[in-house]
Amino acid sequence: MQLINSEWTITEEEVARKAFDIAYKREISSLIDSVRYKASNLAEIDDMWRLHDFLSVKRHEVDGRYDYHLPMLVFVFAGLVKDGWLNLSELEGLNTDKIAKIAALACM
């Protein structure tokens, strides 16, 4: 099962870029809502440091996740599907082999 260095057609690259951007916007929007909610409920200093820890983790996750390189996109999309930021249907247009790999990895 070859997972990296697969060839991507121009159409597939367009589908991939669009799906990537959709997931990114979706996750960031959800994250902003979470931070607003947590901040509106701050009552004491420990809540504030918990918000700081939360932001540290999320920044690390987001920086690591949204790195657009074609050879690694199968893994990126699998993670996004697994974590609920992307639906497999939004990858329609990729070849069936790639979709199958993404679906399989997302279940691991």
Q: By the criterion CB under 8 A, which residues form the site for a copy of itself?
A: 28, 31-32, 35-36, 38-40, 42-45, 47-49, 51-52, 55-56, 59, 62
Where residue 31 falls (left for φ over 0; alpha for ψ -120 to 50; beta otherwise) is alpha
56 or 87: whose CB is closer to a copy of itself?
56
> In the complex, what is the shortest distance from the CB of residue 57 to a copy of itself, in angstroms, rounded to a whole number?
10
User: Measured between alpha carbons, how far is 86 from 19 in angstroms, rounded to an integer?
Assistant: 7
Cβ atoms < 10 Å from Cβ of 108 = 6
11 or 30: whose CB is closer to a copy of itself?
30
8 or 54: whose CB is closer to a copy of itself?
54
Nearest by Cα to 8 from 100, 108, 98 = 98
> In the complex, what is the shortest distance from the CB of residue 106 to a copy of itself, in angstroms, rounded to a whole number?
24
